[in-house]
Structure 1
Amino acid sequence: MLKSKVAVHAVSFGLLPDDAIMLGESYLKQWKIPTAQPITLRLGAYRQPIKVVSVARYDGMRINQSLARRIGLASSTTLRMHYSEKTSTLSLGPIIGVLISRDYPNLPDRPFGSITMFCKELVDGCADEGAHVFFFTPNGISDSSDTVEGWVFNNAWKRISLPYPDIVNNRLTSRKLENKPNVQQFIKEIKMRYSAQVFNEKFLDKHEVFDALKGDHKLIRYLPESHLLRNYTMLKAMCSKYESVFLKPVRGSLGKGIIKITRTDGGGYQAMFTTTAGTRKQQFASLVKLFSSINVKMKTVRYQVQQGLQLIDIAKRPVDFRALVQKNASGKWMITSIVARTAGGAHFVSNLARGGTLSTVKEAIGKSNLLIARQEAPERLQRAALEIAEGVDQHIPAHFGELGIDLAVDTSGRVWLLEVNSKPSKNDNTPLTEQKIRPSVLRMIQYSRYLSGF
């Protein structure tokens, strides 16, 4: 197998001109890289004609300092390389660009706010894996060049102009930002002109996911009955069929705006609304009056009406499960982690943003009111998460490298899909172990290597 990891050192112009690199003799022999003729050096979208100088008994590469600065490399770093005889191109990489929502240039130690630690973890993971990562926002995308204004870490965070990367991980947390014309144009251009790969390229909404998956015979067993709420007739039909139903904003997240509707003994209905302070309850004499109260919201919010489920709970607090499913170094879906989330005392949703708490699957199942199929539950959750991820890949025309899949277990032990999130929070899915670099971070880097051929 060809050796691809190489230590890259930047040296001054006096030692090496800008259009030359020095490379250990063993790499030249393995990759059959010529020294007698110019070749092309490629880093992401950056191209430069260079001459290669062979160095005996040297296990690395030296490049000029100005070239290193142009692509944001530290004075000493480790990258992967490969050489194409067909195009006479020596490629270094992978160069990974992470598209994030916002930056804070006036906070040099925390330029990305609450996700700064995650970003530094990615930097450290790339150093281990032989990759280079930078971070940029929609404001850093130029309309007129093939460079972006992005952040690199080189003893401190620095903002510089950088060439388009090999891989873009779309971590935008706002649909408004994702739909900006310059973002959409950038994604289109980087894929078409530079054959770059963009993963997690778009948000998913609840209706799109359930509508896409319901035609798959393998997945139908995981799907509670679910429809786009269009009118009173549909709400009445669902409330007649089930003891409770949920109205979920099609584009909602973090448990915001969910309404639980339950029939009461007197023939009326109770609606429970999620709020930041807890659950707000409201009684209605009839379903017509309840629908009238939410009809105003429906002018601005599209709802998915979903079958209510008899889910397991711990001391009357509902429990669900977040599976982080990622593609690995071979491009295959794998379970990175599954954690249990138990709703806070004043809430009927389990999101951490709503006061939920994390525990292991085994611990939550053990404390819950699930009386049968306890041993099988963890394996059923894993199987469901993998099958749903594969279904999303197959039935939704977009590229995803990681998904947060929210699952639930009912009191009979059956697994249900609640939601698929294409921008899983880096706090909400953290495995319950303390490690310098989380497996979720390493897997993202390894998948980037797979996509880019490094």
Structure 2
Amino acid sequence: MNLSLIDEKQHTIYLPARYEHSDLRSISFGARTFPCTIIFSSQLEQEVLMSTSLFHELSIPFCQSVHLFFRDDTVHIGPLIGIFSAGFTGSKLRPIGQRSIFFSKLLSTVKSTGGYAFLFGAHHINWDSGTIRGYFYTNDGWSQADVPFPHVVYDRLPNRQTENHELFTTIKEKLQSQYLIPWYNPGFFNKWDIYQRLQTNEETQSFLPETFKNPSIKHIRSLLEKHQGVFLKPINGSLGKGIFEIIYSPSSESYYCRYHDGEKKVLRKFYQLPILLSHLFQEKKLDDYIVQQRIPLIRFQGRPLDFRVHTNKNEHGKWQLTAVAAKVAGRGSVTTHLNNGGMIKTIEEIFPSPDRCRDIKQQLEQAALLISETIERDVAGFIGEIGFDFGMDDQGRVWIFEANSKPGRSIFKHPKLFEQDMLTRKLSLSYAIHLAEKSIHAPEELYT
């Protein structure tokens, strides 16, 4: 439905005749509502006409494709989607630094979904006037406009430290509790918390490597004897930082430890496990770490690989697979991350056989959708997207290594994943439209 303006001084809106509703008396955009005259016209099919006076009163930033939602005597237009983040620079060209490119692509996607999406931070909120000075991205680049509080907020805070800051937790609580604004993708996942939730579900247990939290030397030695290799991972880590791989060689009765020290890849040999651990952690204990069995992963050109799989909620609020790619480890690297020399490949580039490709994708899709639904049932709040790191062993068994509520997007640097990149961005906003509609039509279903 395209929104256009008509030069009238009275607060008037013209809607297609199929929406005729005798009780309609007002219009709402975000949290702002005004009484108006509503006229239904058989001449209109896919267009809404609004008087310029009403357009300015509602603080609609510009005309484009919109959705209409009806509740009682009010027609809601939009929706208005706020994307909340931090790290704003004040620059007109790159208002949020290096992440400006990602957000410009995300906001541009609204042309295909309809509605309005804007980017904002804590200091853009005016609580007294109930407005936000948000950043919009148009054909002319970045611009700012004052808009009402949105129908829904998409959480894109960049890291755990920012997310846990009192300022941001207060804003989130206030907008949710006082203004009843649905807030989706709130919070980074905790590795151990997700592991426990999946461990208690019979359907998802089989995907989990054997894992211990805050491991003792006894736990680590036990896993090494059983699997010959383990990974030590920080519970709240990301981007592969702080991960150590330990391999036990029975023939030489020695331990090999592989990690990245921030500048280079390191491989060291130890003859005693306690000495190895004291070297890695010095006086610190392994609190806030997990130890996980090492999986003998399938390989590409001699290098181990895992899979990044994205799932998104769609416009109907249902999970669907949106992206699959293979990540091949760099030589001598402990992880498959790009910053450690890893490579992104499509499934077709790894498995030339069409049948093999189809089978791999089906296995990953079944696992990802099942685990997405399980996590959603057990985690508080609205989840709109998840990025998974899956492994597959040489027997063809799928293993889950990690689930991310704010997945990185490095796989989309691959030119053949352009359409999947577009789809993940589109569904991020489509799900926002679904939540906005729910908040208007059946808010009680969101909070029960």
The one-letter code sitting in structure 1 at the alignment partner of 2:167 is N
SS in 2 for 1:349: coil
CA contact (8 A) 2:215 2:291 kept: no
Question: What residue number does 2:259 align with?
Answer: 273
1:165-222 Cα deviation digits (max 9, x unpaired) = 1111111121121122232222223223333221111110211111111011111110
1:23 to 9, 14, 18: 14
Q: What aligned pairs does 1:32-431 form with structure 2 within 5 A after superposition?
A: 32-33=21-22, 39-53=25-39, 57-58=43-44, 59-64=47-52, 67-68=55-56, 71-74=59-62, 76-84=63-71, 86=72, 88-106=73-91, 108-142=92-126, 146-154=130-138, 155-264=140-249, 265-296=251-282, 298=284, 302-366=288-352, 376-429=359-412
For residue 63 of structure 1, what is the amino acid of its counterpart? S
How far residue 104 of structure 1 moved from its aligned partner, in angstroms, is: 2.6
Q: Give the distance between the partners of 1:298 and 1:399, measured in 2 at CA.
A: 36
For the Cα contact (< 8 Å) 1:246–1:307, is it kept in 2?
yes
The alpha carbon displacement at 1:65 in A equals 5.8
Partner of 2:427: 443
Distance 1:267 1:344 in 2: 27
Paired with 1:99 and 1:33, the residues of 2 have a C-alpha distance of 38
Structure 1 residue 313: deviation in Å?
Answer: 1.2
Q: Which runs of 5+ in 2 are unaligned?
A: 439-448
TM-score normalised by L of structure 2: 0.88
Please report the RMSD computed on the Cα atoms of aligned residues, expressed in angstroms: 2.7
> What CA distance in whole angstroms lies between the structure 1 residues aligned with 2:407 and 2:413?
10
Counterpart secondary structure, 2:371 = helix
For residues 133-177 of structure 1, give each alpha carbon's deviation from its aligned partner in whole angstroms, at most 9, with x where no partner exists.
Answer: 000123334565633332123433123333221111111121121
Deviation by residue 1:51-75 (Cα, 9 ceiling, x = unmatched)? 335567354221336844863521x
Aligned partner of 1:215: which letter? T
Inter-partner Cα distance in structure 1 for 2:158 and 2:35: 39
Q: Deviations along 1:4-23, whole A, 9 cap, x unmatched?
A: x2x223466xx324xx1231
Report % sequence identity: 24
1:373 Cα shift?
A: 7.3
TM-score by length of 1: 0.87
Distance 1:67 1:176, change over 3 A: farther
Distance 1:380 1:365 in 2: 14
Aligned counterparts of 2:80 and 2:97: Cα–Cα separation in 1? 23
- Gap runs ≥5 in structure 1: none
2:3 aligns with 8
* Shift of residue 47, structure 1, vs aligned partner: 2.2
- From the two aligned structures, give the one with the greater helix fraction: 2
* Rounded Cα–Cα distance in structure 1 between residues aligned with 2:41 and 2:320: 42
- SS of the residue corresponding to residue 428 of structure 1 reads helix
- Render the CA deviation track for 1:16-52: whole Å, top value 9, x for unaligned: 24xx12314x34x5231557xxx33211122223333
> What is the match of residue 441 of structure 2?
none
The alpha-carbon distance between structure 1 residues 50 and 193, as it changes in their structure 2 partners (threshold 3 A), is farther
- What corresponds to 2:446 in structure 1? none
| Aligned-partner residue type, residue 129 of structure 1 | T
Aligned-partner residue type, residue 68 of structure 2: M
> How many aligned residue pairs are there?
432
8 Å CA contact retained: 1:323, 1:339: yes
Contact 1:212 1:395 in 2 (8 A): yes
